[in-house]
Amino acid sequence: MGTRGLVGFKTKKGLTARYNHWDSYYSELGNDVVEMMLGGDVSCLFDLTKDNIEEYNDFLFDGLFCEYAYIYDDDNDMLLVFKGWFNKPQIKNHKGYDGKESDGTKKSWYCHLVCKIPNKKSSRAKWKKLLATQKKRYEDELADNVYWEREIFNEKITNQDLKILVGGK
């Protein structure tokens, strides 16, 4: 089964991203992205071309289908990690996916910025801890908008960081 995700770059010019259909969770695509960033070569993983950039930039706003997103913030040398399936907006004017439950009631799903991973050596050990912790924490996070990842990567999330969720740069 596919675990849909997004991989991309954020610069002053905006977001450039590509869709990933399989294995986007932390222990697969997430691990690849973190290892590339910490290894010093983020660009080789993304292989961004005109063919796969434009149509997927808005996928980050689809909190039902975009389950994970890894956006490298080039200006701050940091990886922004997003997860979908949250049922509350994280910021005012947060773009999300509007749909309906099986009983017909309206519902929205959002991707949330769950943590920031700085590009420094100490992040590797913290990432390994996150991978070891994830299975224990998954069930309670979605209903309560819990960001357990911030217990490990406690970089402050600012309003500037969250602007990407409303379509800002």
Domain boundaries, the chain: 5-166
Q: Which amino acid is at 137?
A: R
Structure tokens that stand for 109 in this block: 């799903």
Strand spans (E) along 12-137: 14-20, 68-73, 78-86, 97-100, 106-118
Contact partners, residue 73, CB within 8 Å, separation at least 6: 10, 79, 80, 116, 161
Contact partners, residue 146, CB within 8 Å, separation at least 6: 137, 140
Nearest 5°: phi and psi at 4?
Answer: -75, 145
User: Looking at per-residue confidence, does 124 or 151 come out higher?
Assistant: 124
State CA 163 to chain mean position distance: 14
Q: Which of 27-36, 63-72, 82-91, 160-169 shows the lowest per-residue confidence on average (mean pLDDT)? A: 160-169
Asked whether residue 117 carries a pLDDT value surpassing 90, the answer given is yes
Per-residue pLDDT at 39: 87
Per-residue pLDDT at 30: 92
pLDDT in tens, 43-63: 665 654 445 455 566 888 888
pLDDT in tens, 26-46: 999 999 999 988 988 776 656
Identify whether the C-beta of residue 66 lies closer than 8 Å to the C-beta of residue 59: yes
Q: Which of 2-11, 55-64, 85-94, 157-166 shows the lowest per-residue confidence on average (mean pLDDT)? A: 55-64
Contact partners, residue 161, CB within 8 Å, separation at least 6: 73, 80, 113, 116
Per-residue pLDDT at 19: 86
Identify whether the C-beta of residue 42 lies closer than 8 Å to the C-beta of residue 34: no
Per-residue pLDDT at 50: 44
Strand spans (E) along 74-153: 78-86, 97-100, 106-118
Per-residue pLDDT at 23: 92
What's the distance, Cα to Cα, between the start and end of the chain in Å? 33
Asked whether residue 145 carries a pLDDT value surpassing 80, the answer given is no
Contact partners, residue 48, CB within 8 Å, separation at least 6: 8, 9, 16, 18
Read off the pTM.
0.87
